[in-house]
Amino acid sequence: MAIQKIQKIRVGDQVFEQMKQMIADGEWRPGDKLPSEMDLADQFGISRVTVRQALQRLSALQLVETRLGEGSFVRQMDLEQAMDALIPTAYLSGRSNAFVFEFREIIETASASLAARRAGSADVAQLRELQRSAQQAAEQGRDKDFAELDLAFHFQVGEITGNPLIVRTNQILRDTLRSSMAEVIDRMGCENALRFHGAIIDAIEAHDPERASSLMAQHIGKNREYFPESAEEQSRGGAQAPFHEMPAVPLPKE
């Protein structure tokens, strides 16, 4: 896309968005030197101060870097660094639990379905080993260890999908998800997690994607019940209802 003259409305935002889009579209590639502030100001039809502000915003997102005496260059995009800068702001807002549950409902139900399609015997064996370790932690009252194993179970389901975007997203959000899951275990204990995890493993081993997905949705939905503040946000219209309703499948009898 060619640089377009800027309308005199929220000029700084327009400049920033155009430059960001040119990087995203590959018109400015990693390693490319950007035009000088003066040249950009002339092409956009704005002041150098506004260009400088846009460059500072792009730098904050790790999209460009300014080298003293050389100019500004497009950086190799690093999703993890960009997300690390953005996620805490969202997570620390007043609806953190609702956001986490929404994310998990969207990502983890689909991950369970993919895992059921793609899992091999070694994958199932690893899930069962995590389940055994979690059972021991629960029996010994080691809730902190159990929470870590709970997180490891969900991440392993993501690994089994073989989708690098799912795996990488989980890694980026590790600290956020760890904090949330620790709070879940603190409120609801270990029993429900163990029952659901066992049933999900069985569904994955049976290569039953619909059952695996439904069980994961029920599992996360059960967690929601222990967070009345999340439900309160929904009643006020602040957070959305669960991502989708899935037919419930019965858990195996104890």
Residue 155 tokens, joined? 């991440």
- Residues contacting 108, CB < 8 A, separation 6+: 154, 157, 158, 216, 220
The domain tally of the chain equals 2
* Domain assignment present for 249: no
* Domain assignment present for 3: no
Its domain, for residue 204, covers 82-235
Cβ pair 78, 215 in contact under 8 A:
no
How far is residue 244's CA from residue 102's CA, in Å, rounded to a whole number?
10
Question: Is the pLDDT assigned to residue 237 strictly greater than 50?
Answer: no
Cβ pair 160, 119 in contact under 8 A:
yes
* Domain assignment present for 4: no
More confident residue, 89 or 20: 20
Burial 103-139 (b: 16+ CB within 10 A, else e): bbbebbbbbbbbbbeebeeebbebbeebbebbbebbe
Q: Out of 7-16, 44-53, 141-150, 178-187, which region has the weakest mean confidence (pLDDT)?
A: 7-16
CATH number for the domain spanning 145: value is: 1.20.120.530
* Domain assignment present for 253: no
| Residue indicated by tokens 């194993």 | 149
CA 213 to chain centre: 18
